[in-house]
Structure 1
Amino acid sequence: MREELTPGAHDNRLIGRIADGSAPLRVLGELAAQQRRIITSDRRSFLALATRCADAPGGGYFAELAAGESEALGLLTPFAAACGLSDAALRARPPLPGCQAYPAYLAWLALNGDPVGVVLALTANFAAWGAYCGATAQALRDHYGFAAEACAFFDFFATPDPDADARAVAVVEQWQAHAGGGAAGAMDVLEYGRMLQGYELMFWNTLADLVE
């Protein structure tokens, strides 16, 4: 499924501009502001999923994801500061609909999605997000002169977790055993994955429109 959902090389219209240093600093600042809203929303969504799965496999997995969002939120502040945004300015930036569609859909999944399908769809999406973060972290150093502290937010998501796939597979296998073989259908998983990846690209391309 990961290969099927992998975006094309040119689907993300902003990442190339960041990679070559042509994305304005104000757009990077907007990225920080929109990410602050996304992280706080996604953290609540993961906690909601953890609560739904409290007595079933997956509860600990989603709780770990929520904890990761908390850590990422702390790393976002130095990046925003390097973009010229104080914490007050970061919070004051209004939401952009195209950027906030992803967390809105994840919130829907937290209430309505099959937890196994959500685990699998997130695993596929995290691969694309991590690759974009890796390219951004490198560009911030090479073209924008950002210090390591200001790049740490992107480094956090770009650093491969060698156990991530194994943990996701373990959750799926445990859930299948817990449910007597029942699990999300392949069509549901693909639907979740396509929607998440589509909204992921919408986030980046909404910001790309601010460059053009």
Structure 2
Amino acid sequence: MSRPGEEPPTLVTEFATGRGQLGTLAVLAAQQQRIITSDRRSLLLLATRCADAPLGAWFAGLADGESAALRTLPALAAACGPTYTTDGPLPGCQAYPSYLAWLSLNGHPPAVAAALVANFTAWGGYCATLAGALRRFHGLDEGACAFFDFFAQPPTALEQAATEAIGPAGLTPTELTTAHEYGRLLQAYEQLFWTTLTELP
């Protein structure tokens, strides 16, 4: 059995092969509106918890990125359908931000940072695939694809910045174990997000 992130979700594969339905991405946009709004607050809380350390600025930078991503959602929604403002929260889609909110209160910030970077790699790959598919099969323009383009950038610079913010000593063995625990759950909730969208009626 593959681990989360090793294989693309079914929905991403469907779009990559031209079989995806734009209406599903309209629901994705609606759910992302809620997710990003929540994640931004969670990241700001994490930044506050380590405000006197370099990691505080790193989390604050992520929160700024969430704000930028939020501004790209209306164009995606307009290109995909009318459900952007009408769909309520789907539990399977909202599990990830709920867990990140828990981590913002209870998690060990350096371990949270390491777990987030690991998950960004998978998420960014999915977004890159969707951006390409929307241009190739659906003829969407730059504005409509901007949300996926934003997250499709390789996380190398983000990872390097996190490493520098954590410090030259890195994570202790105990912190590494904790980071793996956080990352495993984040990736599982990430997969649940995609599964929920795939199983829409």
Q: What TM-score do you get using the length of structure 1 for normalisation?
A: 0.88
Question: Identity percentage over the alignment?
Answer: 51
1:118 aligns with one of 93, 98, 112: 112
Q: Is 1:5–1:124's contact at 8 Å kept on the other side of the alignment?
A: no
Which residue identity is paired with 1:115?
Answer: P
Equivalent residue number for residue 146 of structure 1: 140
User: How big is each residue's C-alpha offset from its partner over 1:125-150, in whole Å with a ceiling of 9 and x where there is no partner?
Assistant: 00000000000000000111111110
Q: Distance in 1 between matches of 2:49 and 2:3?
A: 27
Query: Structure 2 vs 1, CA of residues 6 and 47 (structure 1 numbering), >3 Å: closer, same or farther?
Result: same
Task: Give 1:109's aligned amino acid.
Answer: L
Structure 1 residue 202 and structure 2 residue 192: aligned? Answer: yes
Distance 1:198 1:6 in 2: 6
- 1:30-49 matched pairs, under 5 angstroms: 30-49=27-46
The residue matched to 1:58 in structure 2 has which SS? helix
Question: Which of 51, 67, 72 pairs up with 1:54?
Answer: 51
Aligned residue pairs, count: 200
Report the CA distance shift for 1:126/1:189 in structure 2 as closer, same or farther (over 3 A): same
Structure 1 unaligned blocks of 5 or more: none
SS of 1:143's partner is helix
CA contact (8 A) 1:114 1:184 kept: no
The one-letter code of the counterpart of 2:186 is L
For residues 16 and 52 of structure 2, what CA distance do their matches in structure 1 show?
44
Once the two structures are superposed, residues 173-209 of structure 1 have per-residue CA deviations (whole angstroms, 9 ceiling, x without a partner) of 16x59xxx86852221110000000000100011011
Deviation at 1:167, TM superposition (A): 0.5
Counting only pairs closer than 5 Å after superposition, residues 87-166 of structure 1 correspond to structure 2 as 90-166=84-160
**C-alpha separation between the residues in 1 aligned to 2:27 and 2:85?**
11
1:152 is displaced (CA, Å) by 0.7
Aligned Cα RMSD in Å?
Answer: 2.0
Cα separation, 2, equivalents of 1:69 and 1:210? 26
Structure 1 equivalent of residue 5 of structure 2 = 7
TM-score of the superposed pair, with normalisation by structure 2: 0.92
**Please, which runs of 5 or more residues in structure 2 have no aligned partner?**
none
Q: Which amino acid aligns with 2:66?
A: E
Aligned-residue offset at 1:62: 0.5
| CA distance in structure 2 between the aligned counterparts of 1:57 and 1:112, rounded to whole angstroms | 19
CA-CA distance at 1:22 after TM superposition: 1.4
Of residues 121-130 and 20-29 in structure 1, the stretch that sits farther from structure 2 once superposed is 20-29
**What letter is aligned with 1:101?**
A
- Structure-2 separation of matches of 1:65 and 1:92: 28
Give the distance between the partners of 2:116 and 2:47, measured in 1 at CA: 14
Contact persistence 2:117–2:155 (CA under 8 A): no
CA distance in 2, matches of 1:144, 1:155: 16
- In structure 2, distance between residues paired with 1:31 and 1:135: 15
**Which residue identity is paired with 1:156?**
F
Q: 1:176-191 alignment to 2 at 5 Å?
A: 185-191=175-181
Q: Cα 1:5–1:188, aligned 2, differ >3 Å: closer, same or farther?
A: farther
